[in-house]
């Protein structure tokens, strides 16, 4: 094996550091465009994590869909806003409190679900080939066929919704 385990561990810590730092910067930067760019960097760090787990398809989907599509949409939204003053207007205390509460609850749910989940023994994640597109496709189109077809209905619903909202504004 060309890649020995300590190196992947260094990479893991480096990527986690980048992801966390950029995640924090998303929240703390004053300029919303900077926030979007930091979020893109966070996505890249997470894609790096996927690659370390040899989930290659997931990694590239993460970049194409999240960094390449959804964040472009975010950037469009931010550019649609009137950004004459770069900093955000101050929210009142009630909103801030609600935000902290919602965030805290989300954190609780996440920690709870992570604690409940069984920890997979991943001694040799490099040798696993489940994350490759070919194996993933077999699983997706044989075992998870029903959720896949349902997802197309979900996307159809999203399309209809988007058109409804978008066209209403024009009239």
Partner 1 sequence: MNASNTPFDYFPLILMFIVAAGFVVFTMVVTHWLGPKRKTKIKLDTFECGIESKGNARVPFSIKYFLVAILFVLFDVEVIFMYPWAVNFKELGALGIIEMFSFIALLLVGFYYIIAKKALTWED
Partner 2 sequence: MLLVSTFIIYKSIVCVAAFAVALGVAAYSTWIERKFSAVLQDRKGPNRAGPFGLLQPLADGVKMFMKEEIIPNVSNKFLFILGPSLAMLTACMTGAIIPWGKDFVAADGTAYALQVTDINIGFLYLFGVVSIGVYGIMIGGWASNNKYSLLGAIRASSQMISYEIAMGLSIIALIMTTGSLSFREILNQQDAGLCNFCYQPLGFLIFFICALAETNRAPFDLPECETELVGGYHTEYSSMKLGFYLFAEYINMFVSSAVLAGVYFGGYNFPFAKEFYETCGIAEGSALMSLIGFLVYFMKVIGFILLFMWIRWTLPRFRYDQLMDLGWKKLIPLSILNIVVTGIVMGWKDIVALFN
- Please state, as a whole number, how many other Cβ atoms lie within 10 Å of the Cβ of residue 48: 19
65 or 100: CB nearest partner 2 = 65
The three-state secondary structure class of 144 is coil
Site string for partner 2, 9-48 (x = CB under 8 A): ----------------------x-xx--x--x--------
For residues 21 and 60, which CB has a smaller minimum distance to partner 1 in the complex?
Answer: 60
Interaction of residue 64 with partner 1, rule CB under 8 A: yes
Please give the Cα distance from 118 to 146 (Å, whole number). Answer: 25
CB of 68 to partner 2, least distance (A): 3
How far is residue 156 from each of residues 67, 149, 151, 168, measured CA to CA in Å? 22, 11, 9, 18
Pair of tokens at residue 2: 């060309």
- 84-123: contacts with partner 2 (CB under 8 A): none
Q: What tokens does 94 get? A: 């009630």
Q: How far is the CB of 111 from partner 1 (least distance, A)?
A: 28
Dist. CA 121–CA 114, nearest whole Å: 15
Q: Out of partner 1, partner 2, none, which partner does residue 33 contact, by CB within 5 to 8 A per kind?
A: partner 2
Helices (H), 29-144: 32-52, 56-61, 71-80, 93-116, 133-142
79 CB-near residues (< 8 Å, 6+ apart)? 33
What does 13 interact with, of partner 1, partner 2, none (CB < 5 to 8 A by kind)?
none
Q: Is 134 in the site for partner 1 (CB under 8 A)?
A: yes
Q: Which residues bind partner 1 (CB under 8 A)?
A: 2-3, 8, 51-54, 56-57, 61, 64-65, 68-70, 72-73, 76-77, 79-84, 126-127, 129, 132-134, 136-138, 140-142, 145, 148-149, 151-153, 155-156, 158-160, 162-163, 166-167, 169-170
């Amino acid at each position: 094996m060309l890649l020995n385990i300590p190196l992947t561990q260094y990479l893991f810590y480096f990527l986690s550091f980048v992801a966390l730092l950029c995640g924090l910067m998303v929240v703390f930067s004053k300029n919303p465009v900077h926030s979007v760019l930091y979020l893109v960097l966070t996505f890249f760090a997470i894609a790096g994590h996927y690659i370390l787990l040899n989930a290659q398809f997931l990694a590239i989907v993460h970049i194409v869909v999240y960094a390449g599509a959804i964040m472009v949409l975010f950037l469009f939204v931010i550019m649609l806003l009137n950004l004459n003053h770069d900093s955000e207007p101050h929210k009142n205390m009630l909103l801030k409190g609600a935000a902290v509460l919602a965030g805290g609850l989300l954190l609780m749910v996440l920690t709870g679900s992570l604690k409940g989940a069984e920890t997979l023994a991943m001694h040799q994640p490099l040798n696993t080939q489940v994350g490759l597109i070919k194996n993933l496709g077999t699983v997706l189109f044989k075992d998870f066929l029903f959720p896949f077809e349902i997802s197309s209905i979900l996307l159809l619903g999203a399309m209809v919704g988007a058109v409804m909202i978008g066209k209403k504004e024009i009239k």
